[in-house]
Structure 1
Amino acid sequence: MSPEPLADDLRGADDRDFPSRTDALGVELSEVVGGPLGRHALVGRQPFWTPLRVVFVIALGFLILGWTSKAPCLQQSGTGNGAQRVANWDNNRAYYQLCYSDTVPLYGAELLNQGRFPYKSSWLETDSGGHQKIQYDGTPAVRYMEYPVVTGVYQYTAMALAKTYTQASDVLGLPIVAEVVMFFNIVAFGLALAWLVTIWASAGLSPRTRPWDVVMIAASPIVIFQIFTNFDALATAFSMTALWAWARKKPWLAGVLIGLGVAAKLYPVLLLLPLLLVSLRSGKVHEFSKTAAGAAASWLLVNAPVAMLFPRGWGEFFRLNTRRGDDMDSLYNVFKSFTGWQGFDGPLGFWEPPVILNAVSAVLFGLCCLGIGYVALTAPGARGWRSWPSWWSLSSC
């Protein structure tokens, strides 16, 4: 008889999957601390330092490194209160110190520094000399907030908090911080929380015998350089919690979270494809219809008020994405750089939509989706609710 109550989890070391035994890299790295886990090791008895909490600590370490990588761009210049000071980006600091973040320039470029509400306020696009730009059709180049509603309102909320701190520092004598720097810090704090939610949901989707797999997310080097570059962590949090809800047979909640994710960034809508394929294979199309309805409802609930009040500003996100040409990091641009090719559409005027390029990209994407669908529906394997990882990994191409 044991002198102490038995643990809830009675699995021994041989009943678990350990990277220090099964992963080639894990085996090599484990030699630094004494080698792979021993056969008679006590596992799963630590009341506080559970695998998830250890992963959270690792994630926090990488988030700290992520903020540190942006710190050179958070140096401030100027005098006066926080609203009168700016981030010191002189001499292209953001590029030679590798600390660029969209958050800092967007604070001024999208009129957040003036307290303007996104989608309601507009500005004229100008060149480096301050001259107004004219579109290809001869009309002024008018700009609005270019992000979906959840991300735009998130920025507006962070701006309001930053301005509140500026006012409090004037009254209470708090340390003076450039308003744009405080804006960045508030945004970064929220993104860090969203990233921890992403990790929590990912851990909930990991097999019970492999709780450490999520370390690949928490300790990804990309986190150091990109977690605070833009606002994608909001969408990843909604996306992964949606998959977590789906795996627990909560189709309505999964749909609501996908809809909110689409209202933050467009790409979470792609989750609907693998979920549809899983539903077709498992004969649960009715459950998928709940998810699709929940996604549509939550997306409309968030977007409808802004779309009705400020239709021009609300539509900027879609207009901007249809008139964007091939990005500098795209295969199209690589081919153009080495061959002198002018692109599918040839030379374009300012903001002229690349119609042919958009059509080619849409067709290629559609063909990829059809290919993924064929593989998913014909491949042997599990057909249950929790079989989503196989099809999501297929769709990730």
Structure 2
Amino acid sequence: MSTGTPPPPPTGTPEQGPPLPPTTADPVLRAASEVIGGPAGRRLSPRAPWWARPLPVLVALTSVLVAVGAATKHHCRARGWSTPDQFVHACYSDLPVVYTSSGLAEGLGPYAPGVSLGQPPVTAALAWLLGLLAPPGAGAAAQRAYFDAGAVVLLLAALVTVVAVAAAAGRRRRWDALLVALSPLLVLSGLVSLDLAGVALATAGLALWARRRPVAAGLLLGLAVAARTYPVLLLVALALLALRAGRWRAAGTTLVAAAAAWVAVNAPFALSSPDAWSAYLRDFAGRAAGYGSPWLLPQLVAQAGGSADAAGLPPVAVTALTLGGWFAWLLLVGLLVLWAPRRPRLPQVAFLLVAGSCLLGPAFPVQASLWLVPLAALALPRWREHLLWWAAEAAYFGAVWLFIAGQSTPERALTPELYALFLLLRLAALGWVVVAVVREVRSPWRDPVRAAGLDDPAGGDLDRAPDALVVRVA
């Protein structure tokens, strides 16, 4: 391994011209557009009416999909979130269930004695604030009101996310945000939990970094880490790319601002309620393999063989495998960043890190896929791989609820071997997207963004920056 001399600056040029219509930028959409008259023409030109421009279309489509997601929860909303109905009808949502089971329905604060949320501070505070909009008690009316309030907040979070993706994609690639606005994951998982709030903060922080606002980007990313822990990997991606480019001033500002925001939010709760605050951190260590994790497969194999009480891997082994897998993946991604023939784009590195944490984690719940939606849209703006991944996610979404329903109603259950098949299908589909991103990092001419003459629209201070450190592996 040797350190090479800095290569010449990349050939990317500043963005020029109007947004590229999606049916001219992607072969899958171009072929599909024949059903409605062929690729985009004058109606999507710069002189198009306001309602045919990217942002109005994206906002309208996102709103429709979230509304469809709310409609899929109608059975539970009308009859209550009860087992096994909420799983058989695939209308389960953490929002009303956690509200009534955590102690929030009794009017207690997010980290008050007797409340067991197990969530980071921003998410816990949001869950408590939503409770103020629901009537007292834990009855069906309170659950309904809490879910409705949460649905409105999550719709706003989805809109922030899609607008932020459009901003981070840059003017020329603004239509790439359709991969978020039309993602079926908004329908399937958007209202399962409050994860979309953290996704919105993280994506907005990424958009501010793209607009060269390092302090504001850091503050939002720090709040995002205080809502969902995964956005810390976006900061790791930024640090890796700053190392390759040798440009630390803006990146360092963002990292410091993120740390300051995280401390400012966490310190009051850590000092006043240390045990309740640290519950979400302690939950990671020593936990058994959860739904969606590859570490659950040994237990499923044992159950398929007739061992109904199979315990699977011990918690200590799950923790060791997870930490070892994450560390190895971080090293591999770091090496790829420094070794690639051209500095990878920020969304590519961020996607690889977050996807690896999902694929190798102790659990991979359906709502965790929302973390990947905006990053995948920016990292791989090509519809073929997304359609494959979406199909696998939809199949797994139905399978996991039927498998969980079987814990209380065996006659309506999905067998362990079938659930394992859908679990592997989901992991393989996401793995295929990872492979596609790695292939484009290794061969930048395959990247649709760089093939259009751009460098890294979401890269902010790193966009069109020359390299300072390149590692060559003999």
TM-score, with length taken from structure 2 = 0.66
Task: Supply the AA of the counterpart residue of 1:389.
Answer: P
Match of 1:51 among 41, 49, 54: 54
Asked whether the equivalents of residues 104 and 131 of structure 2 are also in contact (C-alpha less than 8 Å), the reply is yes
Aligned amino acid, residue 390 of structure 1: Q
Counterpart position of 2:30:
27
Hey, what does 2:105 align to over in structure 1? 113
| Helix, strand or coil at the partner of 1:161 | coil
* Matched residue, 2:348: 390
- Structure 2: distance between partners of 1:313 and 1:29: 52
Tell me which residue corresponds to 2:84: 92
Contact 2:72 2:91 in 1 (8 A): yes
Q: Which of 61, 78, 85 does residue 75 from structure 1 map onto?
A: 78
Partners of 1:42 and 1:275 in 2: how far apart? 34
Asked if 1:337 is matched to 2:309, the reply is no
Distance change >3 Å, CA 249–CA 66, structure 1 → 2: same
Given the alignment of the two structures, is residue 363 of structure 1 paired with residue 335 of structure 2, yes or no?
Answer: no
- Give, in angstroms, the shift of residue 287 of structure 1: 2.4
Deviations 1:187-218 (A, max 9, x none): 11111101110111100011422221111111
Partner of 2:95: 103
Instruction: Provide the identity percentage.
Output: 31
Matched length: 333
The 1:10–1:323 alpha-carbon spacing in structure 2 relative to 1, beyond 3 Å, is: closer
Aligned to 2:196: 233
Question: Aligned partners of 1:363, 1:204: CA distance in 2, in Å?
Answer: 36
Alpha-carbon distance between aligned partners in 2 of 1:145 and 1:180, rounded to the nearest angstrom: 16
For residues 232-262 of structure 1, the C-alpha deviation after alignment (integer angstroms, 9 at most, x for no partner) is 1111111111111111222222211111011
User: What is the distance in 1 between the residues matched to 2:247 and 2:236?
Assistant: 14
2-structure distance, mates of 1:323, 1:219: 38
Q: Deviations over 1:121-150 (max 9, x none)?
A: 226xxxxxxxxxxxxxxxxxxxx2211111
Unaligned runs of 5+ in 1: 1-8, 77-87, 124-143, 167-175, 346-353
Letter of the structure 1 residue corresponding to residue 103 of structure 2: L
Once the two structures are overlaid, the 10-residue window that deviates more, 203-212 or 332-341, is 332-341
Structure 2: segments with no counterpart, 5+ residues: 1-14, 304-309, 356-474
Amino acid at match of 1:292: L
Q: Is 1:372 paired with 2:333?
A: yes
Contact 1:199/1:218, CA 8 A, preserved across alignment: yes
User: Greater relative contact order (Cα 8 A, min sep 6): structure 1 or 2?
Assistant: 2
Q: Which amino acid aligns with 2:348?
A: S
RMSD: 2.4
Deviates more, 1:221-230 or 1:321-330: 321-330
Report SS of the residue matched to 1:395: helix
Residue 99 of structure 1 aligns with an amino acid whose one-letter code is C
- The residue identity in structure 1 corresponding to 2:250 is E
Which of these residues, 145, 165, 175, is aligned with residue 117 of structure 2?
A: 145
Structure 1 CA distance for aligned equivalents of residues 125 and 278 of structure 2:
15
**Residues 1:295 and 2:298 are matched in the alignment:** no
- Displacement of 1:374 in angstroms is 0.6
Task: Report the structure number with the largest CA radius of gyration.
Answer: 1
Q: Which residue matches 2:129?
A: 157
1:191 alignment partner, SS class: helix
Question: Would the aligned equivalents of 1:274 and 1:388 in 2 still touch at CA under 8 Å?
Answer: yes
Q: TM-score w.r.t. structure 1 length?
A: 0.78
Check whether the contact 1:328–1:334 (CA below 8 A) recurs between aligned residues.
Answer: no
Q: 1:323 aligns with which of 286, 289, 292?
A: 286
